[in-house]
Structure 1
Amino acid sequence: MLTVEPATAADATTILALRHAAEDWLFARGIDQWTPREVPLTTIAAQIDAGEFHVARYGHSGPIVAALRLIDSDPAIWPDQDESACYVHGLVIDRREAGTGLGTLLLEWASEQTRREGRSLLRLDCAETNGALRSYYLSQGFRYVGRREFAEGSSWFSVALFEKTTDR
């Protein structure tokens, strides 16, 4: 049984290791999504302290197999904020769990949490050129709602924006 719980300070290095593995996997395949080593441990720790990160385990004491941030605003990516939305960021899964449906379970969990908070939209984004991830989000019930460009010289990729209703 999958357990999703708030991350603790002790989880920061594991979350970062999962992210590094994902960054390396993406980079090796030429997929724009995350720039390798762009997020330092101090950022992960601060996001944990802010109550943003959650970790997933099979059972209550199993190893962490995935993590994600669920936040209530995202002005850097979604400048036109909507108080009825929550935003998923940093969704990362242990590469050994790829293809098992774990991503679907985490997105369902995030949708349920969003609904429980009385919000009607779950939003996320991905690099605009990441066709496989764009297709995955569409298959998970998200709809494409636009794109976000960043200033020339920015280290961020242009992103595709997705949202789905939580049926609150």
Structure 2
Amino acid sequence: MAITIRDGGHDDIPAILGMLDSCVEWLAGQGRTGQWGSKPLSENPKTVESVTRYMDEGDTYIAEVDGVPAATVSLTDAPGAYLAHLPAGEPERYIHWLASDRRFKGYGVGAALLAHAAEETRRAGISLLRVDCYAGDDGKLVRYYESNGFSRVEAFTVGDSEWPGQLLARRV
């Protein structure tokens, strides 16, 4: 099994949405609908707009396993508007929409993309890489980022939804 990482583009949006839908299906199958609900994200116009916007504002990467798109991540210079109250106070690169097709769970594609994001951040002359994630349920997602070199910065909730989030950072 060979993991390669390439630049993503608009032609990859259907594959990216498929990865997100795969995550929703996997999470819902475990009864964990707090993060992204139970309906395919590809059916939500706001999700499609968000994926496209972060691609246009930054850089999107696709991890392939033996030539098959398996995971994705986008990097921009800032978090989403819902975290405007938690500024970095210095230049940063920010991770959005890290997701993998769950057929590739355990292959290391997410970790490979996080390592690539750190290297791209360092290459850009920036030393701070941040990400936020769902912090509810069993906290596995927060621990996943910690296992990839990130440290907790601040817990938060999104708007009136009370969606529990965790901001994490990594020095590169």
Q: TM-score range by the shorter chain?
A: 0.7 to 0.9
Q: Deviations over 1:124-165 (max 9, x none)?
A: 11112141111111111211111122332x4x7120111111
> Paired residue for 1:145?
153
Report the TM-score when normalising by structure 2: 0.82
| C-alpha distance in structure 2 between counterparts of 1:11 and 1:115, whole Å | 25
Indicate the residue corresponding to 2:78 in structure 1. Answer: 73
Aligned twin of 1:22 = 23
Give the Cα separation in 2 of the matches to 1:22 and 1:118.
32
Residue 163 (str. 1) matches residue 169 (str. 2): yes
Q: CA deviation at 1:107?
A: 0.8
Aligned AA for 1:106?
Answer: L
Q: What residue identity is the alignment partner of 1:117?
A: A
Aligned-residue CA RMSD (Å) = 2.1
Residues 146, 160 of structure 1: 8 Å contact kept: yes
Q: CA offsets, 1:75-101, max 9 Å, x none?
A: 422533223321111111121211122
Distance 1:140 1:14, change over 3 A: same
How many percent of aligned residue pairs carry the same amino acid?
31
Give distance in 2, aligned partners of 1:94 and 1:108: 18
Aligned partners of 1:9 and 1:45 also within 8 Å: yes
Aligned length: 162
The amino acid that maps onto 1:118 is: G
Taking the aligned partners of 1:132 and 1:84, their CA distance within structure 2 comes to 28
Q: Normalised by the size of structure 1, how large is the TM-score?
A: 0.84
SS at match of 1:84: coil
Instruction: Give, in angstroms, the shift of residue 33 of structure 1.
Output: 1.9
User: How far is the alpha carbon of 1:64 from its aligned partner?
Assistant: 0.9
In terms of mean alpha carbon deviation, does 103-112 or 21-30 score higher? 21-30
Structure 1: segments with no counterpart, 5+ residues:
none
Pick aligned residue for 1:33 from 32, 35, 40: 35
- Taking the TM superposition and a 5 Å limit, the aligned residue runs for 1:10-159 are 10-31=11-32, 32-35=34-37, 36=39, 37=41, 38=44, 39-58=46-65, 62-74=67-79, 75-82=81-88, 83-130=90-137, 131-152=139-160, 154=161, 157-159=163-165
Give the stretch that moved more between structures: 5-14 or 72-81.
72-81
Aligned to 2:130, the other structure's residue is in SS state strand
Report the secondary structure of 1:44's partner residue: helix
Whether the aligned pair in 2 keeps the contact of 1:127 and 1:159 (CA below 8 Å) is yes
Structure 1 residue 51 displacement after superposition: 4.0
SS of equivalent residue, structure 1 residue 149? strand
Tell me how far apart the structure 2 counterparts of residues 81 and 64 of structure 1 sit (CA, whole Å).
Answer: 33
Counterparts of 1:41 and 1:151 in 2: how far apart (Å)?
21
Flag the 1:42–1:163 CA change in 2: closer, same or farther, 3 A.
closer
